[in-house]
Amino acid sequence: MTPSKPQIRRWRQYLADERAEAAVYRDLAARRTGEERDILLALADAEGRHEQHWLDLLGDDAGRPVRGDVRTRMLGWLARRFGSVFVLALAQRAEARSEYDDDEDATPQMAADERIHEEVVRGLAARGRNRMSGTFRAAVFGANDGLVSNLALVLGIGASGASSATVLLTGLSGLLAGALSMGAGEYVSVRSQRELLEASRPGPAAGAALPHLDVDANELALVYRARGMEPGEAQTRATEVLGSLEGLSAHTALGVPAGSDQAVPDVDEHEVIGSAMGVAVASFCFFASGALIPVIPYLLGAEGFVAVAWAAGLVGVALLGTGATVGLLSGTSPGKRALRQLAIGYGAAAATYLLGLAFGGVV
Please give the pLDDT value at position 55. Answer: 87
Please give the pLDDT value at position 265. Answer: 41
Residuewise pLDDT in 10s, the chain (363 residues): 677 888 888 888 888 888 888 888 888 888 888 888 899 899 889 888 988 988 888 888 777 766 666 666 766 666 666 556 667 777 777 777 778 888 888 888 888 888 888 888 887 777 666 655 556 666 777 788 888 888 888 888 877 777 888 888 988 888 888 888 878 877 777 777 666 656 555 555 555 555 555 545 566 677 777 767 778 877 777 777 766 555 444 455 555 554 444 444 444 554 445 567 777 887 888 889 888 998 999 888 888 888 888 888 999 999 898 888 777 666 667 788 889 888 988 888 888 878 877 765 444
Please give the pLDDT value at position 292. Answer: 92
Query: 48: closest CA among 20, 70, 88?
Result: 20
Rounded Cα gap, residues 85 and 175, in angstroms: 30
Q: Contacts by 97-101 with C-beta closer than 8 Å and gap 24+?
A: none
Please give the pLDDT value at position 261. Answer: 43
Q: How many residues does the chain have?
A: 363
DSSP 68: P
Q: Is the dihedral of CA 148, 150, 154, 156 positive or negative?
A: positive
